[in-house]
Amino acid sequence: MSSAAATSVATVPNEKSPVEIHKGINGLEKVILRDIRGSSVESNFKPPKPIRGGIPICFPQFSNLGSLEAHGFARNRFWIVDPSPPPFPTHSSNKKYVDLLLKPSEEDTKIWPHSFEFRLRVTLGPAGDLMLTSRIRNTNTDGKPFTFTFAYHTYFSVSDISEVRVEGLETLDYLDNLQNRQRFTEQGDAITFESEVDKIYLSTPTKIAILDHEKKRTFVIRKDGLPDAVVWNPWDKKAKAMADFGDDEYKHMLCVEAAAVEKPITLKPGEEWRGRQELSTVPSSYCSGQLDPRRVLQGS
Ligand code: BG6
């Protein structure tokens, strides 16, 4: 996209969305949102399996906490691009965004008997930051509320999992998925990785940092409306057992998932819930002391 086109789209956000739609894998549609600096996000779909990587949306059920398929059906569905999304409420002319919509099909209502509208706004900020805002509305006409759990199942690419630390979750309580979701309290300074991890941290701060020592890069997650944070790395044995996961890929990934799991969300008809996640990166050279991870967490 040329910079002129990017600018004119940005200043008239209600006109044609600044998205490119291409043929993706298996001829399926892929949506690319690109900003003036060349940052881009894309999504594609390879039914009937969910796509591993990126940021799958877990809705209306996280993991196997209910009768639906693992992580709910939203990540396995076709979403549509809203051709005329509502504008941003405030001055945000330099942001590129696309609204994706999901409404239940007849098949979906057989397994989850509710009517909803899910609007996912994907926004690229001027510095390449990625914001995801989910708005879920109960559109039931039978007067019934519904309850759901939710997660942004974000896969982060890291140089070497054994060199990574997560800051912001230390001393918190968590449910250990590897031990029947028993509740424990995290000990120690920061989270580091030397074996399989699958934990749901509870009542977490709005900011979490993932420090990649080797790449000298820190990912910062800011979140709103999502009190929990799931941390997952399958490690070697589970990686081998997963058909869509390379045997050694666990060394170069980490999922840190902004989530609402412990206290499910209930919406009455007409009510809307909002859950927001913002991802940014800051260059860091933690090993040389140039960046104090606590400042990343405490800074604005
Ligand atoms: C995590 C869960 O969120 O996702 C793990 O805590 C699960 O228990 C992992 O294994 C991957 O799930 P899936 O369905 O994408 O293989």
pTM of the model: 0.88
241 CB-near residues (< 8 Å, 6+ apart) = none
CB 130 within 8 A of CB 148: no
**Cα 113 → chain centroid:** 25
Q: What's the longest Cα–Cα distance across the chain?
A: 60
Q: How far is CA 123 from CA 109, 203, 263, 275, in A?
A: 29, 26, 27, 14
Ligand 1 midpoint to CA 3 (Å): 39
Structure tokens at 176: 């250990």
| Per-residue model confidence as pLDDT tens digits over 229-240 | 999 999 999 999
- For 147, the token pair is 């309850």
Which atom of ligand 1 lies at the shortest distance from residue 71's CA? Answer: 14
How high is the pLDDT of residue 92?
66
243 confidence band (pLDDT: 50, 70, 90): confident
> Which two tokens mark 109?
């209502």
Which protein residue has the closest C-alpha to ligand 1 atom 15? 52
Cβ of 153 closer than 6 Å to ligand 1, yes or no, is yes
Structure confidence by residue, pLDDT tens digits, 26-69: 777 888 888 777 666 664 456 777 888 899 999 999 999 999 99
Bridge partners of 71?
Answer: none
Which residue is associated with the tokens 């913002």? 278
Give the dihedral of Cα atoms 85, 272, 32, 95; nearest 10 deg. Answer: 60
